[in-house]
Amino acid sequence: MIKIYHNPRCKKSREALNLLESSGKDYEIIKYLEEVPSKAELRNIISCLGITPEMLVRKNEAVWKENYRGRLLSGEEIVDAMVAHPKLIERPIVIKGNQAVIGRPTERVKEILE
């Protein structure tokens, strides 16, 4: 089952969802701002993406600039920040099994669909 961590207000997230819809494959939508991923889920997502926690953070968000920018944070502290403030999580994230991509650019979602 394919999962998309989706924010309906985000253009890139809507584009990724359209790709999933047109693929004909089964998928699950997780509106991560409402259904905030747990620390364990975020760690798993980061592992599937093959990135560091910091690479999943939207650093232009005001909450990051006001509370975290310029601070030396551990990976766990960054995960804690994303759980506390899910709008910090980069989007969209599409996962299939142990494979995941951030759908920026949207064409990256096609990697999951192949």
CATH of the domain at 16: 3.40.30.10
Of 99, 98, 104, 94, give the one whose Cα is nearest residue 21. 94
Confidence check: pLDDT of 80 > 90: yes
Per-residue pLDDT tens digits for 62-74: 999 999 999 999 9
Share of the chain above pLDDT 90, in %: 98
The residue range of the domain holding 97 is 2-113
Per-residue pLDDT tens digits for 8-33: 999 999 999 999 999 999 999 999 99
Are 53 and 46 spatial neighbours (Cβ–Cβ below 8 Å)?
yes
Mean pLDDT value across the chain: 96
Of the listed 3, 6, 7, 10, which one is catalytic?
10
Of 6, 24, 37, give the one whose Cα is nearest residue 106. 6
In this prediction, residue 114 has a pLDDT band, given cuts at 50, 70 and 90, of confident
Tell me how many domains the chain contains: 1
Catalytic residue list contains 48: no
Give pTM, 2 decimals. 0.93
Share of the chain above pLDDT 70, in %: 100
